[in-house]
Amino acid sequence: MRNIHIFVSRYLYNLNNQIFIERTSNNKHLNTINIRHIANSIRTHGTGIMNTTVNFTYQFLKKKFYIFSQFMYDEHIKSRLIKDIRFFREIKDQNDHKYPFDRAEKFNRGIRKLGITPEGQSYLDQFRQLISQI
């Protein structure tokens, strides 16, 4: 569990089926880890690993939530979000409490203008990955 950052980068979580699924693989099949596998591991290794596991998970989440808060308090992001929440509050009754798709595309384009990583990801793409990791 000390390498939780590696696990998080390699696996996705399916909330409906309560299963971890390997993100990508060079093999023919993807690896999965479900609740039964975790329960068997606890039976095999004992509950002594739980304290260490919880501690490492807490430290990992603490770092991720710090990054999350930094993103939300960035002036460029915050100003765009405030502008959009004002717009949504004005038109929510007219649109049956639905956010217009064209406005979402405009927001996404605006975030993309702030910069792109060498991999071609915008700040919003990086934020989506962060949310998935949390």
Please report the pLDDT score of residue 1 as a whole number.
62
Confidence of residue 61 (pLDDT cuts 50, 70, 90): very high
* Same-domain status, 81 and 55: no
DSSP character string of the chain: -TTHHHHHHHEEEETTTTEEEES--SSSS--EEEHHHHHHHHHHH-THHHHHHHHHHHHHHHHHHHHHHHHHH-HHHHHHHHHHHHHHHHHTTTTTT---HHHHHHHHHHHHHT-B-TTS-BHHHHHHHHHHH-
pLDDT tens per residue, range 10-21: 999 998 999 999
Range of the domain at 55: 1-63
Residues 96-110: what's their mean pLDDT? 88
Q: What is the mean pLDDT of the chain?
A: 89
* Same-domain status, 124 and 98: yes
pTM of structure: 0.76
pLDDT tens per residue, range 72-81: 998 988 998 9
* Same-domain status, 4 and 37: yes
